[in-house]
Amino acid sequence: MKIRTLIVDDEPLARERVKRFLKDDREFEILGECGNGDDAIKAIRENQPDLVFLDIQMPEKNGFDVIRGLDSRSLPNIIFVTAYDQYALQAFDVHALDYLLKPFNRERFHQAVRRAKEQIESRRRGELDERLASLISSIAPDKKYLERLVVKSVGRVFFLKTNEIDWIEASGNYLKLHVGRDSHMIRETMNSIEAKLDPSLFMRIHRSTIVNIDRIKELHPMFSGDYSVILRDGSELALSRNYRERFLELFEGSS
C-alpha cells in the first residue's frame, strides 16, 4: 500500500525539490501540492494523506496554523520543512518529530523519509499526536489576533475595537466596516484582514463579506440552495456556496 503524500510550501522550487527526491521511491504516491495554509487545510481534510511535507514559514497561515486547523484525532504524519535556527530545532528533536532544514540535501531528505516510514508502519497515531501537540505548545505561542484598528475619518484618527464591528464588506481597494449605524473605510484587502481577525469571532461568508458571528440572528435557506444570513440589526447578507460548509458546521454546532 502506497504512502499517500501531500507537499505544502509557498515556494514552488521547494515543492519541486521534494517531488524530485521522491521520484524514484515507488512507495510514495504524491496526491498534490499546496502553496498556502488554507489550501493545505482543505486538501488534508479532503484527501486524508498518510504523510505531509509541511513548510512552517508561510504567509498568512504558517505550518502551525495549518495543524491547528485540523482535527487533532486524525492528523497525518508530518515532516516539517523549516528555516528555523538550531536553538529552535532542538524542540523538534526533543519531541521526536522530524524536520528538514532548508536547504536540505538528498541524504538528509531520505533520512527523514525513512523515519516517516517507520512511524507510518508502527501506526502509533495517538503517541504521535501527543508529541505534535507538545511541540506546538513549546515552539509556537498562541497567535495574537487584531483587537483594534486605526480608522481615519473626516480629518480625525481614532481606534476602533474589532469586536464592535458588525460586518465587513469589500469596496474596491478598500474595506467598509459596518459598526451599528456608522460605517468606516480602511485601505486593506479581505484576505489580509481575515488573517488578522480571531476566527472564533469573525467568519468569512462570501469573497467580499466577513461577519461578526455574535451579530448573527437567523439563517434563511433560499430556493437556489443558497442561504441568507440575517444580523440582529436587520442586515441581510449572502452566504456564498464556497463558504457554506464551514459556516453551516458552526451554525449547526451552536444550535
CA distances from 194 to 165, 168, 198 (A): 13, 10, 8
pLDDT in tens, 187-207: 888 888 888 888 889 999 998
In the chain the domains, ranked by start, together with CATH numbers, are 3-139 (3.40.50.2300), 148-254 (2.40.50.1020)
* Cα–Cα distance for residue pair 177/169, rounded to 1 Å: 7
Q: Kindly indicate the confidence band of residue 248, based on its pLDDT and cuts at 50, 70 and 90.
A: confident
pTM for the model stands at 0.52
Mean pLDDT taken over the chain = 83
